[in-house]
Structure 1
Amino acid sequence: MDDNKGVHKISINGQDSGSLAEKGEKPGQFNTPEGIIASHDTHHIYVADRGNHRIQVLNPDLTSFLVFGSKGSGEGQFDEPWGLAIDSDEFLYVVDSKNHRIQKFTSKGEFVMEFGKTGEGTLSSPAGITISHKNQLYVTEKGTHSVAVFDTEGHFINRFGRHVSNPDYCLKCPEGIDFDCNGLLYICDYFNKRIVVY
């Protein structure tokens, strides 16, 4: 889990088995960490260090493995990175929130591509991201109160959540998002103070 200063490693019974909780700009220090995800293959832990505008990669024992990114709008730069996802080929997707885009990287932090800045799939204040069993990316957008869907090459597929026939499924500033093992999609509907299940 993360908090406003660092990362905590919690056992399944709730015991803290390690933490990095020092605020700062050095490797292993954080400033408002936001997104976190672990690789099933390498077991590295990726953290969106939002206030430092970078991604930190930790070893399972929480020692620093890799840090990449800086503030800006160029390739591999960030303006408040938020959600993170890893696909079946170990590519990392970073929600670059204030640059209104998704950036794709190798597991070593090498820039691959960006998407979400133009066309039908133009993003507005994206926040959360997850990957379906079909390898499709689902991105929550606070600016459009919806979820945008892309393939892993950045091609836009569709958008839902703002204008739906059932008002119970209308979203307002959605943030966190994830699938369960049965394929159900759970969305943190922030301003409506609820979880919506699709």
Structure 2
Amino acid sequence: MATANTLERIFSVDYKSKIQPIVSVCNWGRGLEDLNNPQGVTIDNSTGDIYVADCRNNCVKVFENNGQIMFKFGDEEGEGKMYHPNGLAIFGNRILITHQSCILNYQVNGKFTSRIGKPGKGELEFYDPSGLTFDESNGEVYICDYNNHRIQILSKELTYKTQFGQDNLKSPLDVKLTKEFIYILDLSNPCLHLYGYNLILNKSLISRGYGLQLMYPYYFYIDNSNNTLITDYYFNSISIFNSQFELIHKISIAYPSGITVDNKGRVIVVCRGKQTHLDIF
């Protein structure tokens, strides 16, 4: 296992007890145990395995829940060619990955299934898609179409269903679902938008800008207590807001990007930049 002494890492943080890291893995680089500008991260809840979009290595890396590397995947040619993967989400045996201006559909074992969408501004067309998530109740997919300033919704069969947000969103980065709302993190101010399932904006929260609560939010996660955890690449921190969206804690971590929580309640954070690698807390 690699030691933490260079650039790219994943943090697993027990933020409630605020303990210190005990294991560090993943150097910056291009080898199997290395990461290069990692972006999104997600958990396979059936196994606890950690999936990381290793953006500039053009692949997805899969780790055991203790941080040990297992395997990587991403076709080098053809329809499944992976180039600068960004967000990813797992539903059953399917993992979807945002990539350039389309969505790649793989199985969790790394076998390519299909490619969805193409560059553009129309239906099933994307311009730098970012975070995405599944609706666990029906398998629908919500995708941040970053530079088209909208969210696209696909059916369980990955066909186009609808879109929303063009009137309010600037550059949507990540999306999460609760029973009440569709949460969207966006490079606007305020930067967290809550839409109803009627696709109408309900409210916008959390200030963004110099000297405010966030500067460059990246990805976020909502835990079982309705705390919202947001990575801030510029302020080198994870900001934690309670269910009333009051800032209750900040964790200092260099250049965080993707964030998720496993079924043990540990927070897994992928970091990138000059002071990052993979830590387990």
Same fold judged by TM-score > 0.5? yes
Alignment counterpart, residue 161 of structure 1, candidates 151, 159, 165: 165
Partner of 1:111: 112
Structure 2, gaps ≥5 residues long: 1-6, 196-281
Partner of 1:179: 177
Higher RCO (C-alpha 8 Å, min separation 6): 2
Structure 1, gaps ≥5 residues long: 164-169
> Secondary structure of 1:149's partner?
strand
Say if 1:58 and 1:66, in contact at 8 Å, map to a contact too: yes
The correspondence of residues 56-71 of structure 1 with structure 2, limited to 5 A, is 56-69=61-74
Read off the aligned partner of 2:97 and give its amino acid letter: V
Partner of 1:122: 125
- Greater Rg over alpha carbons, structure: 2
Is 2:187 aligned against 1:190?
yes
Quote the Cα distance in structure 1 between the aligned partners of 2:18 and 2:88: 24
Summarize deviations over 1:15-35 as a string: whole Å, max 9, x none: 324332410111121011100
Say if 1:137 and 1:150, in contact at 8 Å, map to a contact too: yes
Summarize deviations over 1:83-125 as a string: whole Å, max 9, x none: 11111x22111111x2x11111111000011112276221111
Tell me the TM-score normalised to structure 2 length: 0.61
> Secondary structure of 1:143's partner?
helix
Partner of 2:86: 82
1:110 to 1:30, Cα distance in 2 relative to 1, 3 A: same
1:17 to 1:147, Cα distance in 2 relative to 1, 3 A: farther
Quote the Cα distance in structure 1 between the aligned partners of 2:55 and 2:105: 17
1:191 to 1:52, Cα distance in 2 relative to 1, 3 A: farther
Say if 1:54 and 1:69, in contact at 8 Å, map to a contact too: yes
Read off the aligned partner of 1:114 and give its amino acid letter: R
Partner of 1:150: 154
Count matched residues: 184
Summarize deviations over 1:11-69 as a string: whole Å, max 9, x none: 24233243324101111210111000001101111000112111000011111111112
Tell me the TM-score normalised to structure 1 length: 0.85
Read off the aligned partner of 2:160 and give its amino acid letter: F
Root-mean-square deviation (CA), in Å? 1.8
Alignment counterpart, residue 14 of structure 1, candidates 10, 18, 35: 18
Say if 2:53 and 2:88, in contact at 8 Å, map to a contact too: yes
